[in-house]
Structure 1
Amino acid sequence: MISQDIANTIVDPKAYAAQTPVDEAFAYLRKEAPFAQAQPEGYDPFWVVTKHADILEVERQNELFHNGDRAATLTPVLVDRKVREIMGGSPHLVRSLVQMDNPDHMNYRRLTQGWFLPQNLKKLESRLRDIARVFVDRMAEMGGECDFARDIGLYYPLHVIMEVLGVPEADEPRMLKLTQELFGSNDPDLNRRGEKLDFEAGLVAVQETIGEFITYFNGITEDRRRCPREDVASVIANGQIDGQPLDHFAAMSYYIIVATAGHDTTSHTTAGGMRVLAEQPDIFKRLKADPSLVPSFVEETIRWVTPVKHFMRTATADAEVRGQKIAKGDWLMLAYPSGNRDEEVFEDPFTFKADRTPNKHVALGYGAHVCIGQHLARLEMRIFWEELLSRLDSIELNGTPLLSEANFVCGPKSVPVRYRMK
Structure 2
Amino acid sequence: MLDGFDVQSIAFVAPVLIEDWDIAAGAFGPIFGAGLFGLMVGQLIFGPLSDRYGRRPVILFCTLWFGSLTLATAFASSWNVLLALRFFTGIGLGGAMPNIIALTSEFSPAKNRATLVTVMFAGFPLGAAIGGLISSQMIPALGWQSVFYLGGTVPLLLLILLFFLLPESAQQLARSGADPSRIRKLLMRVNPGNPPSEDVDFTIAEKQVEGFSLIALLRRGLATRTLLLWLLYFMSLLMVYFLMSWLPSILSQSGMPLDQAIIGAVALHIGGAIGGVLLGWLCDRHNPFIVLASGFLVAGGCIAMVGLTFGIPVILMALVFTAGFTIVGGLTATLPIATGIYSSSVRASGVGAALAVGRIGSIVGPVAGGYLISTQWPASAMFGVAALPAIVACLTILALMLVVARSRTTEPDSP
TM-score (norm 1): 0.28
Which has more strand, going by share of residues?
1
Which has more helix, going by share of residues?
2
